Amino acid sequence: MFGVRSLVPYTETLVPANRDIFEPFLSFRREMDRIFDEFFRSSGLSLTAGEAWMPAPQLDLVETDEEYRVIVELPGVDPSDVTVEVRGDLLVVRGEKKAEQEEKAENRYVVERRFGRFERCIRLPAAVDLEKAEATYDKGVLTIRLPKPAEARKPVRKIEIKAAA
């Protein structure tokens, strides 16, 4: 993966020794780089060399007393093109969307193909029982269930609040 800055053939090493006259421009350049980097990072768009832009899929993280449930929207994605991994406290959902459209008419034949990869990483707030983890895919929605270990499911004790006298 590469950043937006690598697309621009400019580096600060080309700036002459008398930097004082260029400092406002360098500051402006750094600020624009920061804005673009933040935009692409927050929008979920990623660009890897030789691949298409693909928005990161939308997801919800739901916590219950027994488990964490991650619901990922993957319309049009074949479940065999998706992988789900847990690395320590990081859940990684990665895949590829492939679309092909074919149109035949009297004097023409058109085939359009679109491909794009995506990846979402979520830091889980606590340990999970990986032996009982499961993922299901139904009608474009991936549901990942990550049960909490027994020690994380301690009962909740309500504490009474006493009014001050």
Query: pLDDT tens digit string along 112-145?
Result: 877 788 888 888 877 888 899 999 999 999 999 9
Question: What global pTM score does this model have?
Answer: 0.58
pLDDT of 12 strictly over 70:
no
The answer to whether the CB of 133 falls within 8 A of the CB of 85 is no
Q: To the nearest whole percent, how much of the chain has pLDDT over 90?
A: 22
Architecture of the domain defined by 54-152: Sandwich (2.60)
List the one residue out of 61, 66, 59, 84 whose CA is nearest residue 134: 84
pLDDT tens per residue, range 84-118: 998 888 899 999 888 778 888 888 888 887 778 88
- Amino acid 101: pLDDT: 81
